Every structure is written in C-alpha cells, then in structure tokens.
Amino acid sequence: MKLNEPLKILFVGSEASPFVKIGGLGEFLYTLPKALRELNHDVRVIIPKYASVDAEKFPMTTVIEGLIVPNPGHEDIVCNIKKYNNDNPLDPINYFLENEEYYEKRGSVYGYDDDADRWALLSRGTIEFIRNQNEWRPDIIVANDWQGGLLPNYMKTEYKDDPVISKIATVFVIHNLYFQGMFDHHHISELNYDDGKSDVPPITDPRLLKTNFMSRGIRFADVVSTVSANYAREITTPEYGERLDTLLQERRSHLYGILNGISYQRYNPETNPYVEFKYNAESLNERSRNKKILQQKFNLAEQGDVFVVAIVSRLNDQKGLDLVTGTIEPLLDNFDFQFVVVGSGESKYLTFFEDLDKKYPQVATHLSYDEILPQVIYSGADMILIPSKFEPSGLTQMEAMRYGMIPLVRKTGGLADSVEDYNPITQTGTGFVFEKYEQYAFFGTFVRALETYKYHNIWQGIQKRAMAANFSWEKSAKEYVKLFKRALDQFNL
C-alpha cells in the first residue's frame, strides 16, 4: 500500500460520542475517527445501539435485518445493523449493533452480570456484519479496550480461513490495562486463570466470565497500541503490567504508544461559550476576571491575586488522591490559596472533601459529575492537581493547559509525555512534575508551584508555553495512520 493511499478503517468499541459517552473511550471513538476522516481516510465506527441513544436526534436506517451471529453449542443470536443518517461527508459513518435483550433493555452501558456476553456479541456481531454485506470492507479493524479484546481472537481463530475476514488486519488499543474482563485479575486462582490460547467460550457460557479479554486482544492483534508512548513502556514492567507484563514483553515488537489528543475547537478560550471573558496567550490578564466568576460560582472570597488550585477528576485511588488527602490540611493551614474540587467517585473521597469543605472557608466542592464547571475552572483557576498512581494518557492536563491552567502531575504514563517540569534556570517547562509516589514529593512540588506563582511574569511564561503545546488530534491522527500502515505490513508478512 502506498504511503498516501486512503485507508478503510473500522473502529469497534462500547461507546462513542455524541451517541453515548461515559468516559475517555467515548471521546476517543469520536475525535480520532473524525480527525482521520479529515485526512481523507474512509473511517467508520460501530457500537451497540443502547436504549439511551436518542432515535429522534440520531435517525437511523436499517442496513441488515436478521443478522445471525453464530454461538456454537448454544442458540444463535439474531441482531440488526443500523446506520446513522448523517449527511455530512466530513464525518465518519456510524453503525449500531441492535439487539433488544443485550443492549436496549438496559438503563446503563456498563455494570451488568452478563457484560462479558454483551461485549463478545459486539465483537462477533461486527465480524458477521462485515462478512454479510458487500458495500464496504475495511482494511483494518481497530478494537478498543477489554470490551473489544475478543475481536482479534475470533478473527485469528474462528475466521482465519474466511475469504473476507482473513484479509483484514487488526489493531488493539489499550486504554487502561487495569480492566481486563469480568473478574479481578489480582486475585484470580491458577485454576481459573485464562491461558489466552484455548477456544473462546460461547456467548452465555459461564466460562466467559473468567476469560481475560484484554490478554487475548494483546495476544492476537497484528499491532497493539496504547494511548501514550510512556505508558507503552511502563506496562512491560511488573509495576505497571497488571500481571500481563510478560505477555507484553513477548509482543514488544508489536507494541506502540500514541498520545491521545483533544479537540482544539471545543477547548478554546477564545470561543468557548462557558468562558465569560474570552482570551488567548496574548491576553492572559483576562483570566483574572474569569477567576472572579469562578469564585462567585463556588462562594469563595473574591480575591484576584489569590492562588486557586483545583481537582477535576474521577475521585478514585488511581488518581493519586491519597497524596492529596494526606497533605492538603497542612497546606491549607500554612499557605494562602483557594481549593476547588469537582468530581464524583469513591465514598471515602467524597466524605473527605465534603468534610474539608465544611472545615475551611477557602475550600469549595461540587461532588458530582458536571460538564460545564470544568470549563469555568480551566479558564479561571491557576493550577490543576493530577498526582496519579498511573495514567495511561490523561486528557485533563491537556485541556487545562489549553486554557493556561498549569498542571501539577506525577511523572507517569501520558502525564510524563505531555507535561514538562518547570526549570527556573533555563525558564523552560509547562508545569510542575514529581516522580516518586509519596506525600513529601507531592507536598514539595505543591509549595514550589505556589512560590513560583508569586512571580507574575514567570508564571505567565509557563502559561504561554503550556498553551502553545500541540495536543491536537490532527497530530495524533497522522501517527495513527503510520501505525495502521505498520499493522498492514505486519499482517502481510
């Protein structure tokens, strides 16, 4: 295949914006396909048709009715394939796997006892869809996270001799290695351990609950990718490998990492409707006016020169919040700053931040999910805390930097790839970075940032460098094109 020849690419996943978005995967399966489409590739996406997908907002046409999905030893499953009627030629084409029992009789996307069956059906249903129509055949199928892990497995085993499927290359994208299937891989017994090589159990077979979808995606895909280069290196080590490091080492020559991107149209302080006073890198003084808007919304004292620090995150162990809970009160007791927390998550963190809000007048919280408040925080607060234990890619730091909000991060995963530590000697860097996962390291870095903030011109220099960093999907999409062509080369060896 020639370097500039357009590719036919099918993305498969459990969610995709704007139809359904629960987390970063939903954003990934919207923004990357769109960026690839803008590079003139023929890109399509397939997800399940959930009850929550608004049929009036997203009108659909049935492409295949009565699609038979084989289920050896059990009753075959009947599905339909629908296509979103979108007339915009610059958008990817979106397909939906329709099955009332597995997808439409559910109030949520995740969290069901038969989730293993549901994602196995998505993988095998997608393959049967490709086999049973002649209108379009992809060069590459991109399966995402553990929910898509069986797709490369099926293609390399059940369909290895199929005249259509055997000609398609596969890429498996790891978004978070921690989640591997419908079991806790930390405590799986040797008796129940999935060797990754035996036949995939049929849909509805209880053995599917003990199948490691993640390991099978890694084992059978032509190319494996992660959402940052540093994370790709980390997961080959026992510390980050989640018991799959040996397998990942075996597949090292097929393992790559490409940093996620963000939408520069959506996250733009010059045009965002939720930014009260628009600004850019040359008009950063306008941020002080947005800081007052932020303080008003959170009932904080209106002080234009006070250091405002925020957390915008899921509140769970992965995000390194133990470092915050162990140090924030001494920091509040000894330094002058305001602290804002927005997010939902584990009860122990919700309780901690709720109590902190009551104890300190300079603390404000909104402990539930909100789409608008992060934009208000990005445009008005000074620093965002992301001290994660591990972070495959991370989007929050990129979004914040786009607005001139400086990240304080731990040097791990995509955080290490996207944030450069401030160096006062060379006047370089886009944020504040610490390496060891310990409270003293976090505490010291926090104080270093707070003291740097006192020097207005220096702080604005960090802001301008952060805003100039390029995390656009256009840049990442070009790297994915190289990856896909590498997958085709591997496939054709």
Residue 231 has a CB neighbour count (10 Å cut-off) of 27
Determine the average pLDDT of the residues in 371-379.
95
- Position 195 scores a pLDDT of 87
pLDDT digits (tens, 9 = 90+) for 96-142: 999 999 999 998 999 999 999 999 999 999 999 999 999 999 999 99
Residue 346 has a CB neighbour count (10 Å cut-off) of 14
Q: Check pLDDT > 70 for residue 384.
A: yes
Determine the average pLDDT of the residues in 429-457.
98
Determine the average pLDDT of the residues in 272-280.
96
Q: Is the previous residue joined to 18 through a cis bond, with omega within 30 degrees of 0?
A: yes
Cα separation, 324 vs 314, in Å, equals: 14
Determine the average pLDDT of the residues in 283-298.
96
Greater confidence, 370 or 126? 126
Cα separation, 233 vs 250, in Å, equals: 13
pLDDT digits (tens, 9 = 90+) for 250-267: 999 999 999 999 988 889
Mean of per-residue pLDDT scores for the chain = 95
- Position 167 scores a pLDDT of 96
Residue 252 has a CB neighbour count (10 Å cut-off) of 11
Are 319 and 386 a contacting pair, CB within 8 Å? yes
- Position 191 scores a pLDDT of 72
Band of residue 247 on the pLDDT scale cut at 50, 70, 90: very high
- Position 367 scores a pLDDT of 97
Please list, residue by residue across 375-396, b when 16 or more beta carbons sit within 10 angstroms of its beta carbon and e when fewer do.
bbbbbbbbbbbbbbbbbbbbbb
SS3 for 70?
coil
- Position 64 scores a pLDDT of 97
Six-digit token pair at 265? 């149209």
Nearest residue to 218 via CA among 163, 187, 261, 175: 175
Nearest residue to 213 via CA among 254, 182, 257: 182
Cα separation, 203 vs 288, in Å, equals: 57
- Position 186 scores a pLDDT of 85
- Position 260 scores a pLDDT of 95
pLDDT digits (tens, 9 = 90+) for 407-423: 999 999 999 999 999 99
- Position 138 scores a pLDDT of 98
- Position 2 scores a pLDDT of 55
Cα separation, 82 vs 434, in Å, equals: 48
Residues 6+ positions from 140 with CB-CB distance below 8 Å: 7, 8, 9, 10, 168, 169, 170, 171, 484, 487, 488
Determine the average pLDDT of the residues in 429-449.
98
CA distances from 112 to 101, 104, 108, 216, 385 (A): 12, 13, 9, 21, 33
- Can you list the domains of the chain with their CATH numbers? 8-261+474-491 (3.40.50.2000), 284-470 (3.40.50.2000)
Cα separation, 142 vs 168, in Å, equals: 11
- Position 190 scores a pLDDT of 74
Cα separation, 243 vs 194, in Å, equals: 12
Alpha helices in 16-76 (DSSP H): 24-38
Band of residue 185 on the pLDDT scale cut at 50, 70, 90: confident
Residues 6+ positions from 191 with CB-CB distance below 8 Å: none
Q: Residue 151, exposed/middle/buried by CB under 10 A (0-12, 13-18, 19+)?
A: buried
Amino acid identity, position 206: P
Six-digit token pair at 281? 């890198």
Six-digit token pair at 213? 């979808």
Six-digit token pair at 444? 């010291």
Phi-psi region of 320 (alpha: psi -120 to 50; beta: other; left: phi over 0): left
Determine the average pLDDT of the residues in 205-209.
94
Q: What share of the chain is helix, strand, coil (3-state, %, to 5)?
A: 40, 20, 45
pLDDT digits (tens, 9 = 90+) for 1-58: 555 789 999 999 999 999 999 888 999 999 999 999 999 999 999 999 999 999 899 9
CA distances from 190 to 187, 217, 439 (A): 9, 20, 36
